């Protein structure tokens, strides 16, 4: 079975985007754009090429992903690709897909089409979309003339190649400036198959492109919701922890950790969104490390697992069920604390409370319950 590798070029400065960081490290719907691009190729070996001095940015953007160390690039995209290809030579694949970090919305369908063309015998494969806009060319005098869009196409990435052939082309034509890798392949006499690209596989170039990309992510992303529920009974004590706040109370709550039912319920809801079990699987009550532990650590852990899967937490809602203490006076502070732990805007956190009108164990003031729901976009 042929071996494929993916080379993601992320060495540019992204100055046209007008962002404070190189654009590949800017947040796109809550995740660095580079991270989203890498995760689009889940299941394939990925090598990232970065620019000089971007090591710390790359570490932060790719934290938790199983990747080899990024390779330093060169002064141009062409040189960066060549250096990345050379690095792959230590365990040379049969085929390589070369992709721009600034195309985070590439779909599995486009990737599969490129791979299928190579497996079918093509020396190279290029995803393209037909030009749909009216085109005009400006001459040296500033005059514009109409250009027929018939048989005009826009090239995208990933561009796929036989690894040995494209590496040889880069070495042979290193001094020839080209705009993409297909141009080099053609200079080397390789035949390149055209496959169908997608309009949503945009290249994020300008600042306004971020808004468009986020809109497209919202339209096509996998949105998941899950619930969480927790109960702790009252015991002797003079305070309880509730949604990250320490509140004076006539009793404490019994539990292996600090027994914060609100944070426990949200934690389970987030774990449910990504199919990662429940809080007891990650922090078993038999483990003495978690005796008396602050529950914000559990919630932070769940959030980090969501991020590691490329997820974005879009909303959490928790309902506290108890007769006492009264939640109303502390609601805003609870919202702020949950938002701080999860790194969310206040508007994306909801904290509510209700009683059971004296019915059941909460009505008899034997304990507190909480139920939560979380929404995650993957």
Q: Could you tell me what percent of the chain has a pLDDT over 90?
A: 74
| Non-local CB neighbours of 310 within 8 Å, separated by 6+ positions | 31, 35, 36, 39, 378
Taking the C-alpha atoms of residue 63 and residue 297, their distance in angstroms, rounded to an integer, is: 18
Cα angle for residues 128, 9, 215 (degrees, 5° grid): 60
Q: How far apart are the first and last CA of the chain?
A: 30
Q: Is 54 exposed, middle or buried (0-12, 13-18, 19+ CB in 10 A)?
A: buried
CB-count burial class (<10 Å; 0-12, 13-18, 19+) for 108? exposed
SS3 percent helix, strand, coil of the chain, rounded to 5, is: 35, 25, 40
Task: DSSP for 201-248, please give it.
Answer: -----SHHHHHHHHHHHHHHS-EEEEEEEEEEEEES-SEEEETTEEEE
* DSSP letter (8 states) at residue 123: S
CB 156 within 8 A of CB 110: yes
CATH class in words for 223-377 = alpha beta
pLDDT at 207 over 90: no
pTM: 0.62
> What distance in Å separates the CA atoms of residue 252 and residue 42, rounded to the nearest whole number?
46
pLDDT tens digits, one per residue of 76-90: 999 999 999 999 988
pLDDT given for residue 66 in this prediction: 86
**Res 373: pLDDT:** 98
| CA 124 – CA 117 distance, rounded (Å) | 8
Domain residue spans in the chain? Answer: 4-220, 223-377
What residue spans of the chain are helical by DSSP H?
33-39, 55-62, 77-88, 108-119, 163-172, 181-187, 207-220, 261-273, 279-282, 296-308, 331-342, 360-363
pLDDT at 16: 59
The average pLDDT across 265-281 equals: 96
Structure confidence by residue, pLDDT tens digits, 214-266: 888 775 567 899 999 999 999 999 999 999 999 999 999 999 999 999 999 99
Question: What is the CB-side half-sphere exposure of residue 37 using CA atoms within 13 A?
Answer: 33
**In whole angstroms, how far apart are CA 171 and each of 166, 192, 351?**
9, 19, 60
Q: Which fold has domain 4-220?
A: Spore Coat Polysaccharide Biosynthesis Protein SpsA; Chain A (3.90.550)
Crossing angle of helices 296-308/331-342, nearest 10°? 40
Residue-level pLDDT at 297: 96
The pLDDT tens digits of the residues spanning 112-135 come to 999 999 999 999 999 999 988 888
């Amino acid at each position: 079975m042929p071996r494929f590798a993916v080379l993601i070029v992320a060495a540019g400065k992204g100055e046209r985007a007008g962002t404070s960081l190189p654009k590949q490290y800017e947040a796109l719907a809550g995740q660095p754009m580079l991270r989203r691009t890498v995760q689009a190729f889940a299941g394939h070996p990925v090598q990232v090429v970065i620019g000089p001095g971007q090591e710390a940015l790359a570490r932060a953007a790719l934290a938790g992903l199983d990747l080899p160390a990024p390779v330093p690039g060169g002064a141009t995209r062409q040189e960066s690709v060549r250096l990345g290809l050379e690095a792959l030579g230590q365990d040379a694949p049969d085929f390589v897909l070369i992709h721009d970090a600034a195309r985070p919305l590439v779909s599995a369908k486009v990737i599969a089409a490129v791979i299928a063309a190579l497996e079918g015998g093509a020396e190279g494969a290029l995803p393209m979309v037909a030009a749909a806009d009216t085109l005009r060319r400006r001459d040296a005098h500033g005059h514009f003339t109409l250009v027929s869009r018939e048989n005009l196409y826009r090239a995208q990435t990933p561009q796929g190649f036989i690894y040995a052939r494209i590496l040889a082309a880069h070495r042979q034509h290193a001094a020839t400036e080209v705009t993409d890798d297909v141009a080099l392949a053609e200079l080397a006499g390789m035949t390149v198959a055209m496959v169908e690209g997608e309009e949503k596989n945009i290249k994020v170039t300008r600042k306004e492109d971020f808004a468009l990309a986020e809109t497209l992510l919202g339209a096509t992303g996998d949105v998941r919701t899950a619930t969480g529920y927790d109960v702790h009974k009252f015991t002797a004590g003079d305070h309880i922890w509730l949604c990250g706040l320490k509140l004076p109370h006539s009793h404490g709550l019994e539990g292996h950790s600090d027994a914060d039912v609100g944070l426990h319920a949200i934690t389970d809801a987030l774990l449910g969104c990504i199919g990662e079990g429940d809080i007891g699987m990650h922090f078993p009550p038999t483990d003495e490390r978690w005796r008396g532990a602050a529950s914000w650590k559990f919630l932070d852990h769940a959030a980090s697992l969501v991020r590691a899967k490329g997820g974005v937490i879009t909303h959490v809602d928790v309902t506290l069920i108890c007769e006492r203490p009264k939640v109303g006076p502390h609601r805003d502070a609870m919202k702020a604390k949950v938002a701080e732990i999860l790194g969310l805007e206040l508007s994306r956190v909801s904290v509510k409370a209700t009683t059971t009108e004296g019915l059941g164990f909460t009505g008899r003031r034997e304990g507190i319950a909480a139920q939560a729901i979380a929404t995650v976009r993957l």
